[in-house]
Amino acid sequence: MALIQRFEEIWRMSENSWLSTTVDRNINNYRNKTLIICHGLTGDKIGPQKLLSDLSGYLALSCGGAEVVRFDFRGSGLSSGTFVDTSLDSMCEDALWIANRFSSPVIWVGLSTGALIALMAAGKRGKKEQVIAVSNGFADQIDFNNLEGNLVPLRGGQLFLSKDYFVTRSRLCPRANYFHKTGAITSILGSNDEKHFREYHSLQDAGVKAHIIDGGDHLFTDLGKRKELFSYLKDLINETV
């Protein structure tokens, strides 16, 4: 019977900076690869309705030899920092810091904005690592010109983020600047996620393996669609040597 060990740890980047991290390991398998899961912009490593927590345990059980790591970006969850200071660069720095702690091959899995960070980190590492994006179409052209003020409210005003974040995102052009720097990229989209589903054909044209889960929404809140997502991820990762 397969058993999972779950380690909840605080990993210190420096005296005043730390990342709250969870590692899931299957004790019956030799660890031959590391899966790094990146959460969305306003989320945490547990994920909406425990999406990422459940996914991590499932992949550790079902992907032979996989060690699954998820963490809170600085400014989120139990990590250091404040959300208002979050930037794409700081999120990417966190992801790179996590990845550099492991010697085994890395596969990146990202949810929403976390998929963009996974892409950026894989590109910067330059090791042609596989990137699996959930609910992100990696659009190059995003217009945030209608934003007013220096602080942008999110989640109905529960959180605020610097306008600089959105300016940086509008200039990032992930397809042009990062697609050629990583290994295989797969984008998994729910057909009810209108914002990202519309990128389906252009992703295919860009050489990305795009997979549609019919009836899935942005966060796969339906239990049946979530199970379908998990199963597809398992099969995709197990295909990787």
pTM, to two decimals? 0.96
pLDDT tens digit sequence for 76-90? 999 999 999 999 999
CA distance 142 to 26: 40
Q: Which amino acid is at 227?
A: K
CATH of the domain at 64: 3.40.50.1820
- Nearest of 77, 99, 81, 100 to residue 90 by alpha carbon: 81
Tally of domains within the chain: 1
pLDDT at position 1 is 56
Expressed as residue numbers, the domain containing 99 is 5-9+17-239
CA distance 94 to 18: 9
pLDDT at position 241 is 60
Query: Rg of the chain over CA atoms, in angstroms?
Result: 17
